Amino acid sequence: MPTGILSDGVFDELGNRYVIPEYCFCKPKNLRMDENAASGSGKTDGGSSTKGNTTEVESIETNATTGDNSLPIVLRLSTSKDVKLNVAISDSVGDVKEKLLKAEPDLAGKRLRFIHLGKSLEDSQKIIQFANTPDIVIQVMVTG
């Protein structure tokens, strides 16, 4: 059963399980400080202001209530790109796919397969069904 913790093992797209020994995990030493965090600590990363390959997109709110039902998620594309979206917890996976296509128009016409913690997600599933942690990362396999 996938837990999202690397030391418990990981699964590939065919369902094979790989166990990573705990001695392989260590604290990263090559991270850049975020500009907001760097201004508070006085430490900088050399003045670089690039954000890598991450796109931040605000969701289009259609209902008048914008209270606590908004949830930030990260869609990690198989094309080595991360897309951050704010979605409503009542949205379905199909709704999130539409928002992703609006944010990344170059994905139009391609097959998108959403995977969360090793499980393939159906378009009819609601985000609330698997939104049990504050930081949700969904793998998106882009084919075609």
Residues 6+ apart with CB under 8 A from 2: 8, 9, 10, 11, 117, 118, 119
CA distance 114 to 91: 14
How far out from the chain centre does Cα 122 lie?
Answer: 17
pLDDT digits (tens, 9 = 90+) for 83-125: 999 998 889 999 999 999 999 999 888 999 999 888 899 999 9
Choose between 108 and 32: higher pLDDT.
Answer: 108
Give the model confidence (pLDDT) of 97-108 as tens digits. 999 999 999 988
- Global pTM reads 0.54
Q: 39 by DSSP, 3-state: which? A: helix
Q: Which fold, 51-144? A: Ubiquitin-like (UB roll) (3.10.20)
pLDDT of the residue at 7: 67
Contact between 55 and 103 under an 8 Å Cβ cutoff? The reply is: yes
- Map out the domains of the chain as residue ranges: 1-50, 51-144
